[in-house]
A and B are shown apart, each in its own frame.
Chain A
Amino acid sequence: MKYYFQKTLFNVGFDEAIEQVTEELKKEGFGILTEIDLQATLKMKLDVDFRQYRILGACNPSFAHKALQAELHIGSMLPCNVVVMEKDDGKINVSAVDPHASMMAVGNKDLIAIAKQIQEKLKKVINNL
Chain B
Amino acid sequence: MKNLKIILSSMIMLFIMSTLSAQPDGKYYFSKTVEGTFEEVTAKTKAELKKQDFGVITEIDMDAKLKEKLGDVDMKPYKILGVCSPSFAWQTIQVEENIGLFLPCKVLVKDLGDGKVEVVMVDPAALMGILHKEELVTIADKVSEKFRAALKNI
Interface residue ranges, A against B (CB under 8 Å): 1, 3-4, 6, 31, 33-34, 36, 38, 41-42, 45-46, 48, 50, 53, 55, 57, 59, 61-62, 64-65, 68, 72-73, 75-79, 81-83, 85, 95-97, 101-102, 104-108
Cβ contact within 8 Å between B98 and A45: no
B31 contact from A73, A82, A106, A107, Cβ within 8 A = A73
Number of CB contacts from chain A to chain B under 8 A:
127
Distance to closest chain B CB from A25 (angstroms):
14
- The answer for the CA separation of A45 and B100 in the assembled complex, in Å, is 17
- The answer for the CA separation of A3 and B132 in the assembled complex, in Å, is 11
Cβ contact within 8 Å between A55 and B103: yes
Q: Which of B5-13, B14-22, B36-44, B121-129 contacts A (4 or more CB under 8 A)?
A: B121-129
A78 contact from B80, B84, B100, Cβ within 8 A = B80
- The answer for the CA separation of A1 and B128 in the assembled complex, in Å, is 10
Question: Does B154 belong to the interface (CB within 8 Å)?
Answer: no
Q: A1-B131, A3-B131, A41-B86 are in contact. List 11 more A-B contacts (CB 8 A).
A: A1-B132, A46-B90, A55-B103, A57-B60, A65-B66, A76-B28, A77-B106, A97-B102, A101-B130, A106-B26, A108-B26
Distance to closest chain B CB from A106 (angstroms):
6
Question: Does B120 belong to the interface (CB within 8 Å)?
Answer: yes
- The answer for the CA separation of A76 and B66 in the assembled complex, in Å, is 16
- The answer for the CA separation of A90 and B142 in the assembled complex, in Å, is 34
Cβ contact within 8 Å between A73 and B120: yes
What 4 A-B pairs have minimum CB-CB distances, sorted nearest first?
A107-B26, A61-B69, A45-B86, A34-B58
Cβ contact within 8 Å between B65 and A61: yes
Distance to closest chain B CB from A109 (angstroms):
11
- The answer for the CA separation of A60 and B66 in the assembled complex, in Å, is 10
Known interface pairs A33-B60, A46-B86, A53-B100; A102-B130 also in contact (CB < 8 Å): yes
Cβ contact within 8 Å between B66 and A4: no
Neighbouring A residues of B93 by C-beta, 8 Å: 38, 50
Cβ contact within 8 Å between A75 and B25: no
Cβ contact within 8 Å between A78 and B106: yes
- The answer for the CA separation of A46 and B89 in the assembled complex, in Å, is 11
- The answer for the CA separation of A72 and B120 in the assembled complex, in Å, is 11
Chosen A-B contacts, 16 in total, with CB atoms closer than 8 Å, are A34-B82, A38-B89, A41-B57, A55-B104, A57-B58, A57-B60, A59-B65, A61-B65, A61-B70, A62-B69, A64-B62, A68-B62, A75-B62, A85-B100, A97-B102, A104-B130
Known interface pairs A1-B132, A38-B89; A73-B29 also in contact (CB < 8 Å): yes
